[in-house]
Structure 1
Amino acid sequence: MATPHNVVVIVGSLRKESFSLKIANALVKLAPAPLKLNLVTLHDISFFNQDLEATPPADWVNFRETLQKSSGVLFVTPEYNRSIPGVLKNAIDVGSRPYGKSSFIGKPIGIVGNSPGPLGGVSAAKHLQNILPGISGPIMGQPEIYLNAVGDAFDEKGHLTKEALQKVLQQYIDAFAAFIEKQNK
């Protein structure tokens, strides 16, 4: 797997100290050499409004171009009310429009759900699995990853300290790297 692959990592939370951001940063450190993970937060993406499609705002254009230039997309998301955060759904709407011109199309997808609670973001991940077909490329089916009890996995500087979680993240990012390589041949 020598070919470098740029992968957009979409962090589904806006919170400064979010577990999703900490997990995404841990994945950046654990990614095998050919995989270059580019973290994208959603702070600057304005609300989707179909009336603006003819002359999209610059933030939409920039987000779409970032997706289009990538070899794949990895979503790292918390679960809010048994679903994905609204800001993430908005970003998916922005990136998948205009109709028939999704910037996600053909991009291999990975999904990392997480929660400080016992369910690990499984409902959020399943909602992404329902939303993305038809507007994206193939979604990696195995291994699935739903990270629960992540509240004590990081130190005060945001560094991953929970060894068991590090092992799970390493297995996942290695599998995702192989998936990206296979899809981009």
Structure 2
Amino acid sequence: MSDLKIGVIVGSLSSTSINRKLAEAMKKLAPEGVSFTDISIDLPIYRQDFDADYPAEGRALKEAIEGADAILIVTPEYNRSIPGGLKNAIDWASRPWGQNSFKEKPVGVIGTSPSGIGAAIGQNALRPVLGFLNVAQFNAIEVYLNFKDGLIDDNHDITNDGTKAFLAGYMKDFVAFAGHHKG
């Protein structure tokens, strides 16, 4: 797939996020011809009062999502659910009513956690929200990655060959799915 633009949303606002490390590693595993844009979710708390006049951060988020051919969400889980910053960004991007920037966009969801279930519950909490937004969800391969020290090195390379092959397969299939659903 050539000329596919994937927007990457990291569900954690932490500068030392292990999911940010995973996002960087995933970019390196993508097939040739794919470009990536990091989409910031550092936004004020959404409220309907903003609908009449979106602030610059909200407009930038919506434009970044709309400018991407597909979205890859790389997220932890917080308290067995969606991180607050990620849910807030989704609310910004899907509003005002009738101006949903995610509509019909191909979206993949992955994540990592030190937990043995690797952010599975948080991802499963996110999927119904994405369903309501009418995205094309990539569900054929699920990634619930148990993060261990050394799994991703300082160059953002996956150090375990089996994990690297699995994640490269995910990227290959996600890119094909996104290309098929590209608007």
TM range, normalised to the smaller chain? over 0.9
Query: Is the 1:83–1:127 Cα contact (8 Å) retained in structure 2?
Result: yes
Corresponding residue for residue 89 of structure 2: 91
Corresponding residue for residue 111 of structure 1: 109
Q: Which runs of 5+ in 2 are unaligned?
A: none
Match of 2:173 among 165, 172, 175: 175
Partner amino acid for 2:113? S
TM-score when normalising by structure 1: 0.92
In the comparison of the two structures, how many residue pairs are matched? 183
Moved more, 30-39 or 170-179: 30-39
Query: Is the 1:67–1:103 Cα contact (8 Å) retained in structure 2?
Result: yes
Query: Is the 2:106–2:136 Cα contact (8 Å) retained in structure 1?
Result: yes
SS of 1:141's partner is strand
Query: Is the 1:11–1:20 Cα contact (8 Å) retained in structure 2?
Result: yes
Corresponding residue for residue 70 of structure 2: 72
Q: Provide, for residues 32-87 of structure 1, a one-character-per-residue CA deviation record: whole Å limited to 9, x for no partner.
A: 112212122323x2210111110011000011011111111110001111011100
Query: Is the 1:102–1:136 Cα contact (8 Å) retained in structure 2?
Result: no
Q: Provide, for residues 133-156 of structure 1, a one-character-per-residue CA deviation record: whole Å limited to 9, x for no partner.
A: 131421011011111134431235
Q: 1:136 to 1:167 in 2, by over 3 A?
A: same
Coordinate RMSD, CA, aligned: 1.5
SS of 1:53's partner is helix
Higher percent of residues as strand: 2
Partner amino acid for 1:65? E
Aligned equivalents of 1:112 and 1:61: distance in 2? 25
SS of 1:8's partner is strand
Aligned equivalents of 2:156 and 2:35: distance in 1? 20
Partner amino acid for 2:151? A
TM-score when normalising by structure 2: 0.93
Alignment of 1:29 with 2:28, yes or no, is yes
Partner amino acid for 2:21? K
